[in-house]
Amino acid sequence: MKNILSTAVLSAVTLFGAQSAMADVTVSGDYLKFGVGDNGALIDFGLYGWPVTGLQFDPSGTGNFSGAPDFLTPGTPFAFFSLGVNSAVATAGGGGQNNPFSSTTATLSNVGTTYVFTSGGTYAGLNISQTITFDTNSNIIHTDVVLTNKSNGVLSNVTYAAGLDPDQDATCCTYSTINTIGGQGMGAEVTALGAYTGLSITMSNTSGWAAVASISGWETNPYTLSGAVIDYGNGDNTIALGYKFGDMAKNQQIAIGYDYTVAAVPEPATYGMLLAGLGAVGAIARRRKQA
């Protein structure tokens, strides 16, 4: 289904045209507003290389993002995905607009669903295409990635990782979050919760491939993130999922998927407990990568 979806969206973009092409884009709905770079990583950097939109959430579902904290843009904006091929690594995003795959991004909307399609990316003979599917009345961002070996031979030691540095509490209080790994393998997921805003973001594996969920200090290397579990715990850290595929034969294709789910803590009475859990992190931290 993932391959069929990507092909269908690409055909639609080609046939009918896209709302926005070959540039960073921002899309919004009732609950979420988020940017996607030309490189396929989250964050719209706009024309001048400074973030316009990372990821914002309106718990009321009315599409009002005025004053809503941005999860990704405070300090050093940080969201990424990375590829490892033949033991070499390339990273899209990761603190900037890096686009080593020379990909392009376009959007297409159809009856309450927005597609953000990133295509044309290649690295060491590996083609990468990505489809983000976003129902405008939902708080979930679905990401489907298809990797295809377009080289003339076998690609060895292929890996993939994606992640972000959540800073939903930065506007009022701290760059730190309460971070929890909820599972590994097929059920891999990792959550970052803002103790002050009560907002959380969870990355979860939705594919048939096992993933490694991690909490690290801005690690982007897919070989590291798909290896042993990293758990730095609470603090100004990144959350990520890593995938290890091994060797890929000529023309072999691999499809993976993962979600970003944004939510609010349902009971404000729990805030005291959350704040206590974050107390060890300290007061407003001056993060290592703060701009």
Could you tell me if 274 and 265 are in contact, meaning their C-beta atoms sit under 8 angstroms apart? yes
Q: What CA–CA distance (Å, rounded) separates 113 from 136? A: 6
Q: What CA–CA distance (Å, rounded) separates 18 from 117? A: 10
Identify the structural domains of the chain with CATH numbers, from first to last.
2-59+69-281 (2.70.98.40)
Residue-wise burial string across 194-228, b where 16 or more C-beta atoms lie within 10 A, e elsewhere: bbbbbbbbbbbbbbebebbbbbbebbbbbbbbbee
Q: What tens-digit pLDDT sequence spans the chain (291 residues)?
A: 334 344 444 444 443 344 444 579 999 999 999 999 999 999 999 877 788 999 999 999 999 999 999 999 999 999 999 999 999 999 999 988 999 999 999 999 998 999 999 999 999 999 999 999 999 999 999 999 999 999 999 999 999 999 999 999 999 999 999 999 999 999 999 999 999 999 999 999 999 999 999 999 999 999 999 999 999 999 999 999 999 999 999 999 999 999 999 999 865 445 555 555 555 444 444 344 444
Q: What CA–CA distance (Å, rounded) separates 189 from 207? A: 12
